[in-house]
Amino acid sequence: MVESVEEKSPVGIPSISYESMAELWTLIHDLLGGTAAMREAAQTWLPQEPAEGSTAYKARLNRSILYNGYKDTLNKLKNRPFTRPVVAIDFPPDIAYLEHDVDGNNKPLE
């Protein structure tokens, strides 16, 4: 019988850090999904008020929007580190080769 990757390797076993971060990914996923994801998650992000009937709640849910500022900000910031060229100054001798071959395929660090 062939063992699965999870049985052979600890790579298939989530770490405690991974598990604690995974709890937050639902929020990130739904924020990136915008209004549609917020409406699909319904009660998770837009709870029904105690005295609010189902019809009123559905109407409020359908007219609620989620401004996608998170996705907009992420898209604007993700390339920001690459707006200026990398300047290599005083590389330690042990890693000086990386300036001219950063990826093992002779691609310079630029």
3-55: pLDDT as tens digits = 555 566 678 888 999 999 998 999 999 999 999 999 999 999 999 999 999 99
Is the distance from CB of 90 to CB of 58 less than 8 angstroms?
no
* Percentage of residues of the chain with pLDDT beyond 70: 92
Of the pLDDT bands very low, low, confident and very high (cuts 50, 70, 90), residue 82 is confident
Q: Which of 62, 68, 28, 27 is nearest to 45 (CA)?
A: 27
Whether residue 81 is predicted with pLDDT greater than 90 in this model: the reply is: no
* pLDDT recorded at residue 89: 82
d(CA 59, CA 12): 44
Q: Where are the alpha helices (DSSP H) in 42-80?
A: 54-63, 69-77
Mean pLDDT across the chain: 88
User: What's phi and psi for 81, nearest 5 deg?
Assistant: -60, -15
pLDDT score at 48 = 97
What is the rounded radius of gyration, in angstroms, for the C-alpha atoms of the chain? 24
CA distances (Å), origin 86, targets 17, 58, 100 = 31, 52, 12
Q: Does 1 have pLDDT greater than 70?
A: no
- Asked if residue 61 has pLDDT above 80, the reply is yes
pLDDT at 83: 84
